[in-house]
Chains A and B, each alone.
Chain A
Amino acid sequence: MSTTVMYEEKPLKVVGTRPLRPDGVDKVTGRARYAADYNLPGQLIGKVLRSPHAHARIKSIDTSRAEALPGVKAVVTRDDFPDMQTEYAAAGELTINFRDVTRNMMAREKVLYDGHPVAAVAALSASIARAALGLIKVEYEVLPHVIDVVEAMKPDAPLLHEHQFTDGVTPKPERPSNLAKRMVFARGSLDEGFKQADLIIEREFNTKPVHQGYIEPQACIATYTEDGQAEVWTGTQGHFVFRAQLAKVLEMDVSKIRVTATELGGGFGGKNNIYNEPLAIALSRKSHRPVKMVMTREEVFRATGPTSGANVKVKLGCTRDGRITAADAELNFQAGAFAGSSVAMASMCAFTRYDLENVRVVGHDVTVNRPKVAAYRAPGAPIAVFGVESVIDEMAEKLGIDPIELRLRNAAKEGTQTYYGPKFGPIGFIETLHRAKAHPKYRAPLGPNQGRGIATGFWFNIGKETSSALHINEDGTATLIMGTVDVAGGSRAAMAMMVAEELGIAYDKVRPVIGDTSALGFNFITAGSRGTFAGGMAAVLAARDAIEKMRRRVARIREVPLEAVAWKDGRGQPAEGGGAQFKPMTLQEIARDAGKTGGTISGHSEINAEGAGPGFGTHIADVEVDRQTGLIKIVRYTIVQDVGKAIHPAYVEGQFEGGAVQGIGWALNEEYVYGADGVLQNPGFLDYRVPVASDVPFIDSVIVEVPNPNHPYGVRGCGEVPIIAPMAAISNAVQNAIGVRLREQPMSPPRVLKAIEAAAGAGAQV
């Protein structure tokens, strides 16, 4: 049964305030336990041997000398894992193909990227394990490689998969290709639309892959006992999804695997996929001891999914007064070594902020010799939107229309038909545009070489399977067992707040706990901005279930009909017009005698949360460009975003600030640098430059609340929208500052300087 719980406007006591988060004290004292902080008696340390080549056939693997090294207890290769047929399952942000999953975790016929796992060992210590890796002999037949998406689509490009034929093309192609899938989203007639246009602008953009950049490298510890039971502790955004994937690739019953989600040191979409977990279980099975595997930062960069790099073409047509008449885009996304990038979602949200009749978006999913991409906060959207919002900015400039005004003239609103499917319900896009326009920072004076840029973002947000249990303890406190992993945004606190609001008790009387996979029914990953939306819905329903049971208990104890009992302010009391009068019972009183009056009271819910509400944001970026060094400084940054309802405003601000700074890093400096040999040259934080505290100013956050009618508290979810607009907002600001438009990301100093010189040389705008 799919569930929507309608929004009720009512006075709130807890929701909307700013209490302290329950996991806070452990985190500031160093007590919080992340995956790498776990140890089991007798554990071995596992390490992975990785391909040094971007593309090669594996001719043979000889592990005999490694196995003979004293202290080595187990070695695994492709021979220790069953081959999988092509089979799709929804897991994480994208449908995954298990044939690819098993090959990504351990190469079979070929290695497809620098860093691709080829073997793994478990030994008494890390140094012995590392020495063992050096004793494994792999014979490779090195093949030509391709890492550029446009190059990879050409017919004579080195081919990654002989069995991959382009999906979505008729007639079915006869030759295999790196183009895994082509998709077309269209509406109306582009020809008609461009005929109506007074101004047509066509541009091409290129972005590089960037990594989610979580400070905690992947880590896990696994045991496999002789009775066929496996237990895994790992940092994951979805322990139920991990359990499902592990069961599949290891051919085990789901019930024989227990996954505990440890405190997560950042995910952002990058911890939705299994990497070392199946290897650790297999090593434990072979060695009969627990195996702990912690990735180094270099391994994280070489082998865990970044987001796609892409080539984007955008063509827009509009009338003289800024009404967009035609919108055309082509998105060419790198998927990495295996098919399945976020190009479909990027295609679906490229133009969705606007009410358009004539639209076409063509998306291409292309395999290249790089690590398989993973989701990253609003997957695909920042890339597509960078292109689209840059062209819209150019339109506004050429027509002499204020950039926010131009967007208002085209803005989507309730009832707007999207080009990818449904119509919008109530949304807050226009509200964010108005609030941005009215914001004092929009009129802050700009100095020399300073400029201002606007860009907007949209994300669908999702719901999906969620389960929750609420136990009323004997002293009247409550324990909430959640299945949605708290990926750090503070969702534990938000759930506890909603439950406290429902029950009518104080926030600190509700203790939220993330249950392991044996504690609850299936929960989907925490992604898609669903944590507070879906987790909250499940928590609220569990609370309402418990309240229903408490009402029944009061009715029995006080010997009155059920309809006579109302729940208000933490107690069962006579309902207005209910007929019977009786002495109210507080939650504490009910709880204290619960064991003797019928048993402990618990509520639970297992739902498929539907009715997620889309989120929109408008960003204002002020920059200063140093013409001599090419350095871009962010002078001011303002975010205006509709979140439906801010359960805990400080945590919503935290999402705005964190997401925007990730977007700023994407815009200014982050990129993967490969050599001509296809090997990654900057797998570390020194040369993969994420923003530091001195790179960014304080961020102005404006929370807009247009309630989502399909959530009891109006929640839309807010974690993803903030990362979408920064690349375009900053690039538009640079244009405004120095008259140079950058269409290559990141806008690092050498690129900026080159663009400035080119513009000066050409005497015209680049």
Chain B
Amino acid sequence: MARISLSNNLKPYTGGETEIELEVGNVRQLFRALGERYPDLAPQLEFELAVAIDGVIYQDSLLAPIGSDSEVLLFSKIAGG
């Protein structure tokens, strides 16, 4: 099971939960699972969150693979001007 951490600022959308374990193979499956578990989080998943898998940061990479003992972190995307 991959260990999923959500950054603190996402607490209002997950009822305060920030650490869970999920069996998912890639980012798209992760988003689907999170969206089902936390409906309030769903609107942000595809466009506002970046993902770090075992220390490597991905933005907009739905097929990035997640291993069975990966550490995954979700946090807000950034951009620029």
Q: So, do A and B actually touch in the complex, CB under 8 Å?
A: yes
Chain A residues contacting B55 (CB-CB under 8 Å) are 422-423, 425
Closest chain-B Cβ to A724's Cβ sits at a distance in Å of: 11
Chain A residues contacting B48 (CB-CB under 8 Å) are 88, 90, 95
Q: Which of A183, A378, A419, A465 contacts B80 (CB 8 A)?
A: A378
Give A554-611 interface residues, CB cut-off 8 Å to B.
Answer: 608, 610-611
Chain B residues contacting A464 (CB-CB under 8 Å) are 59-60
Chain A residues contacting B22 (CB-CB under 8 Å) are none
Give 1 or 0 for each of B1-36: 1 = CB within 8 Å of chain A CB: 000000111011100000000000000000000000
- Are B81 and A379 in contact (CB-based, < 8 A)? yes
Closest chain-B Cβ to A667's Cβ sits at a distance in Å of: 18
Closest chain-B Cβ to A501's Cβ sits at a distance in Å of: 26
Most buried by A among B8, B50, B64: B8
Does A348 sit at the interface, judged by CB under 8 A?
A: yes
- Chain A's closest residue to B64 (CB) is A2
Does B73 sit at the interface, judged by CB under 8 A?
A: yes
Chain A residues contacting B39 (CB-CB under 8 Å) are none
- Are B61 and A168 in contact (CB-based, < 8 A)? no
- Are A169 and B60 in contact (CB-based, < 8 A)? no
Closest chain-B Cβ to A227's Cβ sits at a distance in Å of: 33
Does A170 sit at the interface, judged by CB under 8 A?
A: yes
Closest chain-A Cβ to B5's Cβ sits at a distance in Å of: 9
Give 1 or 0 for each of B57-81: 1 = CB within 8 Å of chain A CB: 1111101100000000111111111
Expressed in whole angstroms, the Cα–Cα distance for A376 and B80 within the complex equals 8
Stretch at the interface among A146-154, A523-531, A677-685, A757-765: A523-531
Does A186 sit at the interface, judged by CB under 8 A?
A: yes
Does A268 sit at the interface, judged by CB under 8 A?
A: yes
Does A421 sit at the interface, judged by CB under 8 A?
A: yes
- Are B60 and A89 in contact (CB-based, < 8 A)? no
A344-B76, A348-B76, A420-B76 given; A375·B52 CB < 8 A: no
Expressed in whole angstroms, the Cα–Cα distance for A461 and B79 within the complex equals 7
Does A160 sit at the interface, judged by CB under 8 A?
A: no
- Are B81 and A268 in contact (CB-based, < 8 A)? yes
Does A122 sit at the interface, judged by CB under 8 A?
A: no
Chain B residues contacting A726 (CB-CB under 8 Å) are none
Chain B residues contacting A4 (CB-CB under 8 Å) are 56
- Are B52 and A94 in contact (CB-based, < 8 A)? no
Closest chain-B Cβ to A66's Cβ sits at a distance in Å of: 37
- Are A1 and B75 in contact (CB-based, < 8 A)? no
Closest chain-A Cβ to B15's Cβ sits at a distance in Å of: 8
- Are A462 and B78 in contact (CB-based, < 8 A)? yes
Closest chain-B Cβ to A268's Cβ sits at a distance in Å of: 6
- Are B78 and A460 in contact (CB-based, < 8 A)? yes
Chain A residues contacting B52 (CB-CB under 8 Å) are 421-422
Chain B residues contacting A420 (CB-CB under 8 Å) are 7, 9, 75-76
Give A171-205 interface residues, CB cut-off 8 Å to B.
Answer: 183-187
Chain A residues contacting B13 (CB-CB under 8 Å) are 168
Closest chain-B Cβ to A218's Cβ sits at a distance in Å of: 16
Does A269 sit at the interface, judged by CB under 8 A?
A: yes
Give A360-395 interface residues, CB cut-off 8 Å to B.
Answer: 374-379
A423-B55, A463-B59, A610-B56 given; A92·B79 CB < 8 A: yes
Closest chain-B Cβ to A677's Cβ sits at a distance in Å of: 30
- Are B80 and A185 in contact (CB-based, < 8 A)? no
Expressed in whole angstroms, the Cα–Cα distance for A514 and B71 within the complex equals 40
- Chain B's closest residue to A2 (CB) is B61
Expressed in whole angstroms, the Cα–Cα distance for A515 and B7 within the complex equals 39
Chain A residues contacting B74 (CB-CB under 8 Å) are 421
Chain B residues contacting A94 (CB-CB under 8 Å) are 79
- Are A379 and B11 in contact (CB-based, < 8 A)? no
- Are A269 and B80 in contact (CB-based, < 8 A)? yes
- Are A422 and B57 in contact (CB-based, < 8 A)? yes
Q: Which of A89, A95, A376, A465 contacts B81 (CB 8 A)?
A: A376
- Are A462 and B56 in contact (CB-based, < 8 A)? no
- Are A185 and B9 in contact (CB-based, < 8 A)? yes
Expressed in whole angstroms, the Cα–Cα distance for A742 and B24 within the complex equals 52
Q: Which of B7, B57, B61, B78 contacts A185 (CB 8 A)?
A: B7
Give 1 or 0 for each of A456-470: 1 = CB within 8 Å of chain B CB: 000111111100000
Chain B residues contacting A375 (CB-CB under 8 Å) are 79-81
- Chain A's closest residue to B11 (CB) is A184
Chain A residues contacting B76 (CB-CB under 8 Å) are 183, 344, 348, 420-421
Does A277 sit at the interface, judged by CB under 8 A?
A: no
A89-B47, A170-B12, A421-B52 given; A611·B57 CB < 8 A: yes
- Are A421 and B73 in contact (CB-based, < 8 A)? yes
- Are A465 and B7 in contact (CB-based, < 8 A)? no
Chain B residues contacting A344 (CB-CB under 8 Å) are 76
- Chain B's closest residue to A169 (CB) is B12
A89-B47, A95-B48, A421-B75 given; A462·B59 CB < 8 A: yes
- Are B12 and A530 in contact (CB-based, < 8 A)? no
Expressed in whole angstroms, the Cα–Cα distance for A348 and B76 within the complex equals 9
- Are A93 and B61 in contact (CB-based, < 8 A)? no
- Chain B's closest residue to A360 (CB) is B8
Expressed in whole angstroms, the Cα–Cα distance for A440 and B75 within the complex equals 41
Chain B residues contacting A212 (CB-CB under 8 Å) are 81
Give 1 or 0 for each of A425-466: 1 = CB within 8 Å of chain B CB: 100000000000000000000000000000000011111110
Expressed in whole angstroms, the Cα–Cα distance for A444 and B48 within the complex equals 46
Expressed in whole angstroms, the Cα–Cα distance for A83 and B20 within the complex equals 40
- Are A185 and B59 in contact (CB-based, < 8 A)? no
Expressed in whole angstroms, the Cα–Cα distance for A93 and B48 within the complex equals 11
- Chain A's closest residue to B15 (CB) is A170
A-B pairs with the 9 shortest C-beta distances? A528-B80, A269-B81, A421-B75, A375-B81, A93-B79, A2-B61, A527-B80, A460-B78, A422-B52
Show 28 residue pairs from A and B whose CB-CB distance is below 8 angstroms, ordered by the A residue: A89-B47, A90-B77, A93-B79, A94-B79, A95-B47, A168-B12, A168-B13, A184-B12, A186-B8, A212-B81, A268-B81, A272-B81, A374-B81, A377-B81, A379-B80, A421-B7, A421-B50, A421-B52, A422-B57, A460-B80, A462-B59, A464-B60, A527-B79, A527-B80, A528-B79, A611-B57, A720-B80, A720-B81
Chain B residues at the A interface, C-beta cutoff of 8 Å: 7-9, 11-13, 43, 47-48, 50, 52, 55-61, 63-64, 73-81
